[in-house]
Structures are given as C-alpha cells and as structure tokens.
Amino acid sequence: MLWHKQTINEIYAALHTSEDGLSVDEVDRRLKRYGYNLIATHSDPWWKVVIEPFRSIFMAVLGGAALVSLISHEVLDAAVIVCIMVINSVVFYSQHFATTRVLRSLKRHSVSASKVVRDGLQLSVSSIELVPGDIVLLSEGDKVPADARVVHVDDLQIDESALTGESVPIRKHASTLQRDHKIYEQDNMVFQGTYVLSGSARVLVVATAGRTEFGKIASLASTGRGPSPVQAKIDGLISLLVKAIGGVSLVVLGLALMRGMELAEAMRFVMSLAVAAVPEGLPIALTVVIVFGMRRMAKKKALVRSFKAIEDVGQITTIATDKTGTLTKNKLSVVEDWSLPRHDVGAIAARTVSAGSATDPLDIALSAKYKGLLREADQVYPFDIKLRMSGLYFAKDRMLYIKGSPEHMLANAALDDKQRHAAESAMHAMAAKGYRVIAFASQKLSGSKPPKDLSHALSGKLRLAGLIGFADELRPEAAHAVRAARAAGIQVCMITGDHYETAYNIAKQIGVVDHPRQVLSGGLPKQNSQLAAALEGKTVFSRILPEDKFRILQALKKRNITAMTGDGVNDVPALASAHVGIAMGSGSDIARDAGDIVLLNDNFSTIVTAIAEGRRIYDNVRRMLFYLLSTALGEVITMIGALLAGLPVPVTAIQILWINLVTDTTMVIPLGLEPEERGHMQRPPRRPTAPLLSGVLLSRMVLVATTMAIITLLAILYMRETGYSVAQIQTVAFMGLVAAQWMNMLNARSELESVVVRLRRANYGLLAGFLLAFGMQMAVMFTPLGGYFGVAEVPLWLLLAESGIMAAAVLAVVEIHKARVRSQIFR
C-alpha cells in the first residue's frame, strides 16, 4: 500500500488501530502473525565453513591421489597427502575465525528501546517487539525502528543518507501526498535504519522486519556472486591438468604393458607419473600466501573477510563507489558565501544559531565556521514549514535573525531590482555547483516582548544579508586516491542518490568526471538488455535508487571485474553482488556483513592500497604456478622419456613427493611473498578474460621442462652404460631434479628481469627457504634418512656434475628466453 498517499484516519482504519495505540493482547497476536522486528543478516552455516577449504578442484585431486595411494598400499604417500590437506584447512580456519572476531568487535548493537503508546499509555519496549499499528514517539538522536507514517511532527529532520544516499537532512511533515513518490520524495514517511537529527514526532508503524524498505534491500543481498574470477581460472587450469594427467596416464599404462612391464609395476609407474604431475604443495602455498596478504592489508586498515576477495582485488578493472560517507564525510560544511554590499552574511548567520544548542547539521556547520560569534538567544523559533524559515530573537537589541529557503526569503526581502538580480544570480550559481543554499536576514522588532511564533514576528520586509552554500565535506584523500586508481588503468564510477548538480560537482572535484555528458541522472531503462548501452561512457549516476544501483552493478560485471564501495543500507545489494564488496568500518552492520573487505579507517585511498597488494599477490600466484608447473612438467617428460627410451624409472613416487612437497613448498611460499615489480600500479589491469598463465610463461614452462628432461635422461643413459645400479641412477636423477627446482626458483622471481637484476631486490624469506630446503636435501642425501627415500651411495663428483650442469642449463635457457621477450617488448 502507498502509505504516503493515505490520510492518517485511512491508515488507522487499514491497520485497525487508533491514536491510543494497540492493546497488549493485540500486540501479542500481531507478533505471532508478523514475527519479531528483526532482519536476519547473511552468515554461512557451520557445516559450510567446515567444508569450504575442501571445495576446490585441487583439493579433490589431492583427495583422489590419497585414495589411489591407499589402494596401492602406499600408506606413507597417502599419509603425506592427507597431512597437506589438513594443514591447508587449519590455516584457512584460523584466518576465518580471526576475521570473524574482528567483525564481531565492530558490530554495534542494533536492538534499542523504543517509546510507544499502547492502551493510551506511554511505554518503553524493545524495538524488536514493534508491530504494524504501533504508535512510536521519536526524538532527537533516535534510530528509526520501523517504517512509519508521520502523524504529528515538531521540526523533525531525518538523516536518510544510509537508505537513499541523500546527504542533506530531510525535513518531515504530516500532510498527505497526492501522487506517487519515490522513497527520497516521501517526506511524510520515516524509514527503518535512518536517524532523527533534530525535532520530535509521533509516527504510526506500517511495516516491520523484512517488509520495511531496509528489509527489501537486504533481501536483494542474497543474490550470489558466483565463483571468484581468479579461483575460476585456477580451477580451470587444474581441471585441464587433471584431464591431461588422466589421458597421459592411460597412454603410458598401455605403452608400459606393451613393453612387457608387469601390471603391478606398470601401475606403480603410472602412479609415480601422476604424483609427479600434481604440484601437491600448491594448495597450502596459495593459502599461506593469501593469509600473509590478508594480514599485510589488515595492518593497512583493510580487513579482508574472504579468500576470494584477496584473489580478485588485484584484478579489479572498475570501482563503483557510493558518494555519501565514502568519498565525502557525510558532514555538511560552509563552502561559499555571498553578501550584499555593506552586509556581513557571516555575522548574521552566526546569530541564527544559539550558542551551545546546535543539533541541526546546518547549525553545526555554522557553529564550526563562526564559533567566536555565537550568542545565546532569548527566543528560538523552530522551522515553519509554510514559511520555510526559522529564527532567533535577541531581546537586548530587539533583533530577529532568520535563515531559510532563499526563494521564500527573497520574496519577503526589501530589495531593489539590482540587489534582487545580484542575489538571484548568486543563488543560481551556488545551486549549479550542487550546494545547499540558505538565505540569511534580520529584522528590527518594535515591541519589547518577542512574538509567540515566527509568522507574527515577520511584521515587515526582511533585511537580506546574503547567502551561504553548504556541501557535504570531501574526504581529503579521495581525489588523490581516484587519480592513483586511474593511473593504474582502473575506471572509477560514482553512484549516488543525490541530485545531478551535487553529484556532478563532487565527481568533478575528485576527478571521476570531466564533462557533464558523463553523468546519467534519474531513471534507467526498464529492460536490462538496454541498460548496457545506457551506461556506455558514463562514470557518474545520480538520483539512483538502491535497486537501480544493483542493476548498474550487474551490467558492469558483464564486462568488468568490479568493486563496489559503500557504507549504507542502500549499498547492500550492490556490495553483495560485486566481485569485491568494500564496506566502510563505520557503516551499517548490514553493509559490513555484505562486504568482502571492510575499511577500518573509512579511507578511500585504502582501496588503492588494497588493489596494489592484490596485484602483488596475483603476480606472485602466477610466479608460483610457473615455478611448480614447469618443474612438475619436467618430471613428467622425464618419466615418459625414460619409458619410451627403455631406460630405468628415473625417480620413485616417494622421491617425487619429497621434491613436490618439501623442496617445492619450502621455496614456493617465500616466492609467493616476493616484493612487487617496479611500476606494477602504472600498468593497466589484466583483461578479465586473460588466462592466468600467458603464452610467454607457457612457452617458458615447456622450455624449462624439456631442458630438465634432456639433462636427466642423458645422465641416466651415461650411468646405465657405465654400470651403475638402478638405485644409484635414481639417486643422481633425484638430486639433479632438486637442483633444477632451486635454480628455477630464481628464474621465477620475475617475468622479464634477469636473475642478476632481480637479486638487487631482497627477499630474505626466499633465502631462508632455500637454506632450509638445501639442509633437508643434504640430510636425505648423506644421512641414514636417505634409506627411507631409496637413496644409494654415489660418487660425490657425479652428484656435483649433474647438479651443476642442470642448474646452469635451466638458468641459461630462461635468461635467453627473457632477453628475447624484452627485445620484442621494448624495440
């Protein structure tokens, strides 16, 4: 029902209530019918949190590998793989619960006491016990507990910015509206989640819980985001790898049987091949690297709530931001003034605020600007909705000082044509900049006693002093952050419920817009198919309703990886649907619940910092994948080459597990913490459709893998011809492959820079990882521990020769490849 079009009596009849409120029995009945006045915020059930770390394709592959190992009676291999899965999940759980604790500490208690009238008596009840038909009494500072129709009002002003995005306080009245109005035009209604800035009112509750505007918006937030773009790429890569492993394993099994190998031996060989192909250390490495990234971002006041957000934030191509509370402080300030000749509008404006009693946002702004000029008034005249004015009376000099709507003030002012033209020009110039314009005037009263109301006080023409323009104060860091985002190739869009002029001028000040043509104001096309065309070339959207903001985000997501920032209830659907939702720490509870990242310092520039960190993590994920997959591919080619050449199996399954888990993991995690490359925030973001591994990296992977295989197979051939045992051959191949991993770690540090150049950027974690891996490898090679891994005694010169030749070859081929790529890019 359109409550704003109904008279009070019609609403009383529709809700079966009266000015005395509901009876206690009727409240009980309605609580059973409508339920408590609570809006449930989304949180995953415990079982979903438990299974979350096991949902990726990679974890499924590891689980399958563990199962195959058990079936093949390789209990040690299965135990190692299961340990990896457990460690990965423990790291995930610890980060999840740490983040949850911080969010709980941020939550404000949303349940409050409300003053109601029931059975003709004024009572205080919990806001969750309100029902449609209740009479609620609102006063300054109250949070509106439900949607309600205004019955009686006394200079009531409401801050609706959290719901509509409108930064200017809304003055309410009790009159019936005659036509349909949008939310931000319903001046005889108050809405759940908004705040009383000044005045008081008696209101009639018409909707509670999920039936409120707040609740309708919250329901939109249930729309799922879908898979993370980065996770989808990783899953796609692993899925392709699994299919390739399956196909190759079947072919290899057939070849092995054709060469006369026993079935059991052939199965062990195929299993070794599968173990070699799967980089088992990747899940735990990814988890640890992302957790470290989350903690670095938390130190910079960006609390990351989900792993997918840290993966995606570096890929953001578009930031769609709310205005109020995000780019601005949601705090009015004096930004411009204009005075008639021989008048001082500031001095007159200061007399319209009584010292020590400023509660209205305009009065607070005037108090801050003209603090030293304030005096305590003898008589306060609240805002008169018909006159569109308010005033203060000072008995000592019998002066009345008035502020109000410039149109009404000019109509009642004593001005000649020249003065009127100058005042109207100033008014229009300020309004065109999006400012809220207020006129200020004075009048000398003849009587010794103040009139009882403002209408009686205005006995003659007003003496206009001038005009003052007010605007929502910009956050000082916003313009710099927008410039930094644009320099990184990221488009910044502003979506707001504010008027066109306000939106355009704020967007222009911070660099979001260059021309009025980039602003789309008002209604959007009703058909989603037409929406994309309407958004083309637009970076500012004004007079936008919450559901329209949601539609804009859905359209942007089709071509971009989007981030949405906001702090209010009106931002929740868009926050929930964006690839990365970024909520302000001081925003509403439901906004924080909907966001993937919470800015603890409410600083827009922290978003750019988060994107920089995200890009670093994304680049490091690519480094890790190159490192792990190139060496895994080298092992696979080596195994298949040995089979085709009729050579002994190069390495055993347990040796491959050691390489993939111990050697790889100790170095791949520090590789994932590699410092960012120079200029990483001056390059454009990667295309959303771009593969995780570029053609350059894929060709380099094949080059490294082939080099590893050739050197290893040549060593095996030499040792077989010179009479070494299979165990000795496997020992040398084992050491050679490990040496290849060590050198490839240095290759992976940069996609373009030479190893020598990159060594100038310190990564002490990588050095520590190498020393740890080196120490453990030496323990396996030269202590009794080697017996568990099938290590045999081999001449030291042979181990050194194989390791040295392997490391030099792997380094050389990658350096040559990098040099060729650099020459193609910079020529």
- Give the CATH number, domain containing residue 747: 1.20.1110.10
For the stretch 208-232, pLDDT in tens is: 988 998 888 766 655 555 556 666 7
Average pLDDT of the chain, as a whole number: 86
- Per the model's pLDDT, the better-predicted residue between 113 and 288 turns out to be 113
Residue 293 lies in a domain: yes
Q: Which pLDDT belongs to residue 275? A: 66
For the stretch 503-545, pLDDT in tens is: 899 999 999 999 999 999 877 888 877 888 889 999 999 888 7
Domain end point (choices 608, 625, 660): 608
Query: What is the band of 109 on the pLDDT scale with cuts at 50, 70, 90?
Result: very low
* Burial (CB count within 10 angstroms: exposed 0-12, middle 13-18, buried 19+), residue 345: buried
Same domain, 696 and 764: yes
Checking if the pLDDT of 244 tops 90, the result is no
* Contact (Cβ atoms closer than 8 angstroms) between residue 716 and residue 783: no
- Per the model's pLDDT, the better-predicted residue between 531 and 85 turns out to be 531
Domain end point (choices 207, 241, 268): 207
Task: Please report, rounded to a whole number, the percentage of residues in the chain having pLDDT higher than 90.
Answer: 45
Residue 92 lies in a domain: no
Task: Please report, rounded to a whole number, the percentage of residues in the chain having pLDDT higher than 70.
Answer: 92
Checking if the pLDDT of 131 tops 80, the result is yes
Residue 516 lies in a domain: yes
- Per the model's pLDDT, the better-predicted residue between 556 and 572 turns out to be 556
Same domain, 290 and 320: no
Q: Which pLDDT belongs to residue 499? A: 82
Give φ, ψ of 473 to 5 degrees: -70, 130
For the stretch 138-148, pLDDT in tens is: 998 899 999 99
Same domain, 652 and 743: yes
Checking if the pLDDT of 345 tops 50, the result is yes
Same domain, 194 and 275: no
Same domain, 744 and 697: yes
Same domain, 365 and 421: yes
CATH of the domain at 533: 3.40.50.1000
Residue 667 lies in a domain: yes
Q: Whole domain around residue 293: which residue ranges?
A: 229-300+612-673+692-826
Query: What is the band of 103 on the pLDDT scale with cuts at 50, 70, 90?
Result: very low
Query: What is the band of 105 on the pLDDT scale with cuts at 50, 70, 90?
Result: very low
Query: What is the band of 106 on the pLDDT scale with cuts at 50, 70, 90?
Result: very low
Same domain, 173 and 262: no
Checking if the pLDDT of 487 tops 60, the result is yes
Residue 681 lies in a domain: no
Q: Which pLDDT belongs to residue 108? A: 43
* b/e per residue 47-81 (b: at least 16 CB within 10 A): eeeeebbeebbbbebbeebbebbeebebeebbebb
Q: Total domain count for the chain?
A: 4
Same domain, 427 and 514: no
Q: pTM of the prediction?
A: 0.73
Residue 212 lies in a domain: no
User: How much is the average pLDDT of 616-626?
Assistant: 90
- Per the model's pLDDT, the better-predicted residue between 112 and 175 turns out to be 175
Of 243-247, 328-332, 586-590, 646-650, the least confident:
586-590
For the stretch 388-403, pLDDT in tens is: 899 999 988 889 999 9
The structure tokens listed for 469 are 């323009």
Rg of the chain taking only CA atoms, in angstroms: 35
CATH of the domain at 436: 3.40.1110.10
Checking if the pLDDT of 99 tops 60, the result is no
Q: Which pLDDT belongs to residue 107? A: 45
User: Which DSSP string corresponds to 708-723?
Assistant: HHHHHHHHHHHHHHTT
Q: How far is CA 258 from CA 246, 562, 643, 651, in A?
A: 19, 54, 11, 21
Same domain, 24 and 170: yes
Domain end point (choices 552, 575, 608): 608
- Per the model's pLDDT, the better-predicted residue between 120 and 679 turns out to be 120
Same domain, 711 and 809: yes
User: How much is the average pLDDT of 435-464?
Assistant: 85
Query: What is the band of 448 on the pLDDT scale with cuts at 50, 70, 90?
Result: confident
User: Which DSSP string corresponds to 275-290?
Assistant: HHHS-TTHHHHHHHHH
- Per the model's pLDDT, the better-predicted residue between 792 and 283 turns out to be 792
Same domain, 568 and 652: no
CATH of the domain at 185: 2.70.150.10
For the stretch 287-319, pLDDT in tens is: 778 888 888 998 999 998 877 787 788 889 999
Checking if the pLDDT of 265 tops 80, the result is no
Highest mean pLDDT range out of 103-112, 176-185, 347-356, 736-745? Answer: 736-745
Same domain, 468 and 480: no
CA atoms within 13 A on the CB side of 802: 28
Checking if the pLDDT of 45 tops 60, the result is yes
Residue 309 lies in a domain: no
Q: Which pLDDT belongs to residue 356? A: 67
Query: Rounded to whole angstroms, how far apart are CA atoms 700 and 704?
Result: 6
Residue 524 lies in a domain: yes
Distance of CA 814 to the CA centre of its chain: 38
Query: Rounded to whole angstroms, how far apart are CA atoms 51 and 69?
Result: 23
